[in-house]
């Protein structure tokens, strides 16, 4: 293990390091031999680290702090890290309204005085709020010791936490980092020390960027310092830092996340880490655009847009429509198999379209139930069930698709019992034919969980979710849905908020990583907001429902009734007549006001309106089929 470098040497060492980098490699050793011994030895260690031949030596003085010591309103618990500018302690707040809060307390080393700089920057840094930036809670000085209280994150560095995960998941997490950096750049704050060790993935799956603005704050208070392996060339030369400096650091983070060979991503990394800042991505937005290009199989700016490259991207984007042509061109068995799979998918889609069209074509106006279209549709669905049975032996894929559609239609018609029966049949058939490990079986099982929960059949829902738990992958959309369903089951079984909130957080982590635009993502934020509101945490509840509303408008699929429920819930937290009006408009254009899942939020809305305008409240109650205002006693 390398001997720690005395921080008192840093001003001289930093200047010598800059000078050494300007000397050709073949002349550097002779130059080093002429340096004072106290500088030459640590300088050699720094240069080896810079060249990637060794780890960065520690620049850490012995700690003067002790466990149990009070610093400001905090009591130190244990030392959790140290670097060239500061050491970090886990600490507990012991006074003030947030007593008991666990924080990471950063204690700059002697000489790293914050003084005027802290007062100048504190308001800016304290006001920087982003879901992927660890917050600076407080700052001060105690008997000459500056301190910074930061949000405590229990997690691992991003490259370790995501090692072995699918490439798409790693890139989505990296986009969260980019969004955090973009947020701070918009507020004229640079990080200047972006590296994997400063980006943690918490136990809840959320990415958190540490020290945003703190690095700049500490750098400015003493000698210029940096991490040699992660510092941009202009940083090492002592030049002014710009957005391009952080782009360089982000390129290094991406390289740690994507160690495998990937042509487009390696070109993106090379551009982000170009020696000349002018050759890098212009800003974080441009880097994010290249990452989205990789995810969407579109050309990236870091590669020349040759006709061959553009064609390769196009073929990847259009791989399903072009499978038949690919089979003819390539003549390989794999392509033929894929083409056959595509034909089966097309046959299923065509059968589904014909099925729905045929249903509505055969709604006979002369039939006895012609005046009751819902009853007529149920009758026709029952008649079509025999056709599905006939398809099962010869075309089980198409039969499965029609079973799914029929179950969904019965659900929309309010026939939960029939929908549930069809869902159970479909799940049983898929489990017997494909096994629990197949994605279609798992999706069918999760689809069945919701009607079981709606029917408050906790034993059946619990048995189903337990069975699925052993088969589902740990990541992906189906696991996100499983966590949400498991929360709903535990709520049905009477679990308290302390047990249920971590389940929702698990679901949110999976949605954010694997399916950020799925409609379930917004629905889970609403569930969390409802839980927080019931616990009296109004501010948290408002923040969560606002997250839901930000997601729902672009959700896939967009569900108007979900959007309306979120608006109604928000209106229950704050006086928001606009939200109420928009919610009612959405409901009148979709499910109407009499759906069972709307009774609770509409009752609350009617009660609020009774206090302001009893006549309007009574009219709304009549439309929704609910009791109106109670008569005065």
Residues flagged as binding site: 106
Phi, psi angle pair for 402, to nearest 5°: -70, -35
- Distance, in Å, from the CA atom of 472 to the CA atom of 486, rounded to the nearest integer, reads 13
Helices (H), 455-559: 458-469, 477-492, 497-514, 519-534, 538-552
Residue partners of 574: CB distance under 8 A and separation at least 6: 542
DSSP characters over 504-520: HHHHHHHHHHH-TTBHH
Query: Is 202 buried (19+), middle (13-18) or exposed (0-12) by CB count in 10 A?
Result: middle
**557 preceded by cis ω (within 30°)?**
yes
- Distance, in Å, from the CA atom of 207 to the CA atom of 205, rounded to the nearest integer, reads 7
With b for 16 or more beta-carbon neighbours within 10 A and e for fewer, the 170-190 pattern comes to bbbbbbbbbbbbbbbbeeebb
User: Which residues are known binding-site members for ATP?
Assistant: 106
* Beta strand extents in 256-404 (DSSP E only): none
- Distance, in Å, from the CA atom of 486 to the CA atom of 479, rounded to the nearest integer, reads 10
* Nearest alpha carbon to residue 10 among 34, 46, 35: 46
- Distance, in Å, from the CA atom of 432 to the CA atom of 379, rounded to the nearest integer, reads 29
* Beta strand extents in 21-169 (DSSP E only): 70-71, 74-82, 86-93, 102-108, 136-142, 145-151, 155-157
Pairing of strands 136-142, 102-108: unpaired
Q: Are the C-beta atoms of residues 191 and 249 closer than 8 Å to each other?
A: yes
- Distance, in Å, from the CA atom of 14 to the CA atom of 237, rounded to the nearest integer, reads 10
* Cross-strand bridge partners of residue 157: 200
Can you tell me whether residue 300 is helix, strand or coil?
Answer: coil
CA dihedral sign of residues 262, 268, 273, 276: positive
Helix 614-624 vs helix 599-612: crossing angle, to nearest 10 = 160
How many residues are recorded in the chain? 633
Residue partners of 389: CB distance under 8 A and separation at least 6: 399
* Nearest alpha carbon to residue 528 among 560, 500, 553: 500
- If one counts every other C-beta atom within 10 angstroms of the C-beta of residue 95, the result is 11
- Distance, in Å, from the CA atom of 390 to the CA atom of 344, rounded to the nearest integer, reads 18
Q: Are the C-beta atoms of residues 518 and 527 closer than 8 Å to each other?
A: no
* Nearest alpha carbon to residue 202 among 154, 261, 146: 154
* Nearest alpha carbon to residue 196 among 272, 270, 257: 257
Structure tokens at 361: 């074509």
* Nearest alpha carbon to residue 600 among 628, 626, 563: 626
C-alpha distances in Å from residue 422, one per residue of 354, 429, 596: 20, 11, 21
């Amino acid at each position: 293990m390398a001997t720690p470098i005395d921080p008192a040497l840093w001003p001289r060492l930093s200047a010598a390091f800059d000078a050494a980098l300007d000397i050709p490699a073949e002349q550097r050793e002779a130059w080093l031999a002429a340096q004072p011994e106290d500088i030459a030895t640590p300088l050699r260690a720094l240069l080896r680290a810079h060249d990637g031949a060794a780890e960065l030596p520690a620049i850490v003085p012995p700690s003067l702090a002790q466990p149990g010591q009070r610093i400001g309103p905090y009591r130190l618990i244990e030392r959790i890290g140290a670097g060239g500018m500061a050491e970090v302690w886990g600490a507990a707040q012991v006074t003030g309204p947030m007593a008991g809060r666990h924080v990471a307390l950063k204690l700059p080393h002697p000489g790293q005085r914050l003084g005027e700089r802290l007062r100048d920057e504190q308001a800016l840094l304290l006001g920087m709020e982003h879901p992927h930036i660890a917050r600076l809670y407080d700052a001060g000085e105690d008997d000459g010791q500056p301190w910074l209280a930061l949000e405590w994150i229990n997690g691992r560095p991003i490259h370790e936490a995501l090692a072995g995960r699918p490439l798409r998941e790693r890139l989505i997490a990296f986009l969260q980092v980019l969004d955090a950096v973009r947020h701070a750049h918009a507020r004229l704050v640079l990080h200047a020390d972006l590296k994997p060790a400063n980006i943690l993935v918490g136990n809840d799956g959320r990415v958190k960027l540490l020290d945003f603005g703190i690095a700049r704050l500490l750098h400015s208070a003493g000698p210029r310092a940096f991490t040699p392996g992660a510092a941009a060339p202009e940083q090492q030369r002592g030049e002014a830092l710009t957005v391009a400096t952080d782009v360089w650091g982000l390129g290094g983070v991406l390289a740690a996340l994507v160690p495998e060979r990937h042509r487009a991503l390696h070109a993106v990394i090379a551009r982000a880490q170009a020696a000349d800042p002018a050759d890098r991505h212009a800003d974080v937005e441009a880097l994010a655009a290249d990452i989205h290009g990789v995810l969407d199989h579109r050309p990236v700016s870091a590669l020349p847009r040759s006709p061959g490259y553009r064609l390769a991207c196009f073929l990847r984007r259009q791989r399903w429509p072009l499978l038949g042509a690919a089979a003819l061109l390539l003549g390989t068995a794999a392509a033929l198999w894929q083409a056959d799979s595509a034909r089966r998918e097309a046959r299923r889609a065509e059968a589904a379209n014909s099925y729905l069209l045929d249903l509505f074509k055969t709604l006979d106006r002369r039939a006895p139930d012609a005046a009751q279209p819902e009853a007529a549709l149920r009758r026709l669905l029952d008649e079509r069930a025999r056709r599905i049975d006939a398809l099962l032996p010869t075309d089980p894929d198409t039969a499965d698709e029609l079973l799914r559609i029929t179950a969904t239609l019965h659900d929309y018609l309010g026939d939960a019992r029939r929908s549930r029966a069809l869902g159970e049949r479909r799940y049983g058939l898929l489990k017997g034919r494909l096994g629990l490990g197949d994605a279609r079986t798992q999706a069918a099982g999760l689809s069945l969980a919701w009607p079981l929960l709606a029917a408050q059949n906790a034993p059946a829902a619990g048995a189903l979710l337990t069975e699925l738990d052993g088969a589902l992958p740990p990541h992906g959309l189906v696991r996100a849905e499983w966590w949400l369903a498991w929360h709903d089951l535990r709520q049905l079984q009477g679990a308290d908020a302390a047990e249920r909130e971590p389940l929702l957080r698990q679901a949110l982590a999976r949605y954010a990583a694997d399916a950020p635009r799925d409609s379930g993502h917004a629905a889970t934020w609403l569930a969390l907001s409802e839980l927080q509101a019931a616990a009296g945490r109004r501010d948290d509840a408002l923040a969560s429902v606002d997250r839901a509303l930000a997601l729902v408008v672009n959700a896939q699929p967009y569900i108007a009734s979900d959007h309306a429920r979120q608006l109604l819930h928000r209106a229950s937290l704050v006086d928001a007549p606009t939200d109420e009006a928009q919610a009612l408009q959405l409901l009148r254009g979709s499910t109407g006001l009499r759906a069972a899942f709307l009774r609770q939020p509409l009752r609350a809305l009617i009660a609020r309106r009774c206090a302001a305008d009893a006549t309007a409240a009574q009219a709304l109650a009549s439309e929704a089929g609910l009791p109106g205002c109670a008569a005065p006693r």
